Amino acid sequence: MAENNAVGPFDVLIVGGGPVGMTLAIALAKFLPGIKLGLLDRRALTVPKDLRASAISAGVRHLFEAIDVWPGMAKEANPVARMQITDSGTGDIARPVLLDFGGPEAPGQPIAHMVPNTASAAALIAAAKDRIEILDPGTVAQFSTGPAEAQVVLEDGRQIAARLVIAADGGQSTLRGLAGIRTFTRDYRQAGLVTTIRHFQPHNDIAYEHFLPGGPFASLPLRGNYSSLVWAERADTAKALLAMSSEGLAGRIEAAMGSVLGAVEIVETVQSFPLRLVLAHKFVAPRLALVGDAAHVIHPLAGQGLNLGLRDVAVLAEVLVEAVRLGEDFGGLGVLERYETRRRGDTALMALATDGLNRLFSNDLRPLRAMRDLGLSVVDRLDPLKQAFVTHSAGTTGAKLLKGLAP
């Protein structure tokens, strides 16, 4: 019976079919030709039907270019030419711009691109077709390791053997838990509200980040007079906002933005999710590597969550390609620890920065506001400091793929 349920064996099994897992699968298929890859998700891989979009940094765009999926995304992407950051208190009408910056790579180049999730999913699914064995949907029930391979058992009884298993299964990663990897967690007691809005005034490809007492509020430019909205609020306030009529909530959004884009209309169902910080104590274990939200979940105020996970992909792909070239056991702990070492610093810095900014700005204390506003203004006036900030956000260092080069 057990033998009839056996699947594989694979060289690499990726668990999680989101953009992080799919991108890693495509990168490995391209740069390790002949490798036997399996991809498993709890659901069938389909193009989403919502209007949401994700911010894609310059480094991640280079990664997508290197694996030949960017053309399919670019035709629907909208550039983010500039970012403007404001700070305001309860009832403030004015929204003075404290920090304003443009592209990291060259004058006139965008900071990032807003890519509809439909476009990115379609491009990734098309690239994976016929190159990766996409397994029927299933849920992981057991995980174990031996000297030369790992074994994954699904709830339906299927048993999958692989030399290396990649956990790309999200912030509540089943594989992470089964491997006994602990996490550091902080509940922000905030909720994130996500939707798409249409507005009367053009956004001119400018992204706005408004720091409000309840949490940061970002509008990110889509094609036409549309923007993607990510609003962090105190959990009780978010609950009340969700209970409002569409027209009432649109008015609150316009007020929160200081009417910078004029009257707004909500064009998609508002979704809500709790905000927390989650950092895995380890990114690797024998025959297992964590990527994306399985390794780290950060506050969305910088829009860097997905980009951070895709930087994991760029580094892990480079480490595995190098290990194969050197004839090493790429699922061995020594190889995987090279990936962990290279990703720890970037992840810790981003987690610390987003956590600190959220704590600093999510209040309405006037003396503290004066100090932080002065700090932002100083950064805005010191070009080397501002450029360093922008360059790190661009994420073009740390791996060849983030520069568009083959690993």
CB burial of residue 79 (10 Å; 0-12, 13-18, 19+): middle
CA distance 260 to 258: 5
Domain-wise residue ranges, the chain:
3-71+117-184+276-361+379-403, 79-110+188-273
d(CA 394, CA 304): 10
Long-range (24+ apart) CB contacts under 8 A made by 134-138 are: 134/17, 134/38, 134/39, 134/45, 135/7, 135/38, 135/39, 135/40, 135/160, 137/40, 137/41, 137/42, 137/43, 137/44, 138/40, 138/42
- 230: closest CA among 203, 253, 260? 253
- Which pLDDT value is given to residue 129? 86
| Segment (H or E) for 84 | strand 82-87
Distance in angstroms (rounded) separating the CA atoms of residues 340 and 338: 5
Q: Which residues contact 123 (CB under 8 A, 6 or more apart)?
A: 64, 69, 70, 71, 72, 73
3-71+117-184+276-361+379-403 is classed CATH 3.50.50.60? yes
d(CA 399, CA 343): 10
Fold assignment, 79-110+188-273: D-Amino Acid Oxidase; Chain A, domain 2 (3.30.9)
| Model confidence pLDDT, tens digit, residues 328-369 | 999 999 999 999 999 999 999 889 888 877 777 666 555 555
CA–CA gap between residue 282 and residue 180 (Å, rounded): 10
Specify which residues 86 forms β-bridges with.
97, 210
The predicted structure's pLDDT at residue 2: 41
Q: Which amino acid is at 59?
A: G
Buried b (16+ CB within 10 A) or exposed e, 127-157: bbeeebbbbeebebeebebeeebbbbbbeee
User: Can you give the pLDDT at residue 359?
Assistant: 76
pLDDT value for 374: 55
| Residues 306, 16 contacting (CB under 8 angstroms) | no
Q: Are 310 and 343 in contact (CB under 8 A)?
A: no
CB-CB contact of 200 with 169 (8 Å): no
Nearest to 288 by CA among 356, 339, 327: 339
Given a contact cutoff of 8 angstroms between Cβ atoms, the answer to whether 288 and 167 are in contact is: yes
Is 114 strand, coil or helix?
Answer: strand
On the 0-12 / 13-18 / 19+ scale of CB atoms within 10 A, 310 is buried
Q: Given the structure tokens 């064009």, which residue do they identify?
A: 267
Tell me the whole-structure pTM to 2 decimals.
0.92
Q: Where are the alpha helices (DSSP H) in 217-304?
A: 235-242, 246-256
Mean pLDDT, each 10-residue run in order, the chain (407 residues): 71 97 98 96 90 91 97 95 76 64 64 94 93 95 96 96 98 97 95 95 92 87 95 93 94 87 93 95 98 96 88 98 97 97 93 81 59 54 55 80 94
> How much is the mean pLDDT over the chain?
88
- Tell me the DSSP string of 219-236: EEE-SSSEEEEEEEEEHH
